[in-house]
Amino acid sequence: MSCFCSIVPPEVFRRLSKDPKLPADLRAGFADAAAIGNQMRVVREQARRLTSLTSALMPGQAQLAPVAAKPDVTLYDCTHGTNLPGAPVPNPEKSSDATAKRAAVETRAVADFYQQLFGRNSIDDAGMTMLSSIHYGVDFNNAFWNGTQMTYGDGDGKIFVDFTRGNDVICHELTHGVTQYCLQLAYKNEAGGLNESLSDVFGSMFRQWRGGQTVANADWLIGKDIIGPLASARGYTCLRDLADPSATHCLAPQPKHYSKYKTGMDPHESSGIPNYAFYLIAKGIGGKSWEKAGRIWYQAATVAGPKPNLRMAAFAKLTRTAASTLFSGDQKVIKAVDAGWKAVGL
């Protein structure tokens, strides 16, 4: 199974494309989105393998080249076509196109988030240009990282709205790029669930950071800001909820205990287990999620080197080790990490 790292799970598309209560044009749009996803999986897997091969054959080569102080943020407009990257958008952060401006501003903010909080210089930690394309396709219902760039659809305006409206969506997808250059997790089985979970965790943290929220007043929802009026009328408030992964208000509910994990489970589904562990740990520590829990997660994700087939128990061990290393004198943090993983069966 290869990786098409998108915010909306393929199961949601399959379910909505067969929903008789939806208009035929919407159902067809979801079927088209699923088909595009199938093709993009090939592109994404090739990029992951190339990254892995390059790092193995030329270790340390990135450090030999001059590194920019901060990455460039570039934006392209597909103008509702599907040829990537599209036409360049000059000065996107000052664009009169709200989608262009949001994509550029929030991508720059993601770069600042990783640099200021974790000391990371862009996706690859070597100043990689952060390239994005907007207005992909006609009413396209997804946003995705294809191994080299970000792409955003405008949504159909009913189930989903413009995907740049969710800053957690933007960070979620860019974090797939970070994972590509760190753990290099495969997109299947437990490693796939961890891959998706890392993106949800850092996407949620980013949204909280942008809003100045503590773990107590954050809502912990993923995709809240891209839910359209028709989905909202059906009672959906988000794609996923780190605080309550199996809740019925989630368009893509997840299990939250390892006992519910099954080999071959879709990564968007199995990611609920480590998602819930992070939520419990962050709440147990208190304060702001990125200050302690986030640092632990970042260290666990970046210091171990490539581990494409990493299992959840092994990742839990990495976070326990990171907690003891970073906060050796803080038993509250160490105990919270241990208790959070035990609560989900790990």
> Which residues participate in catalysis according to the annotation?
173, 268
- Is the Cβ–Cβ distance between 183 and 301 less than 8 Å? yes
Quick one: residue 73, left, alpha or beta (phi over 0 = left, psi -120 to 50 = alpha)?
A: beta
Element (H, E) at 333: helix 331-343
Alpha-carbon span 218 to 326, nearest angstrom: 24
Q: Which helix (H) or strand (E) holds 338?
A: helix 331-343
Cβ atoms of residues 162 and 143 within 8 Å? no
Place of tokens 């092994």: 314
Q: Is the peptide bond between 267 and the residue preceding it cis, with omega within 30 degrees of 0? A: no
Residue 272 CA, chain-centre distance (Å), reads 13
Which 3 state secondary structure label does DSSP give 243? coil
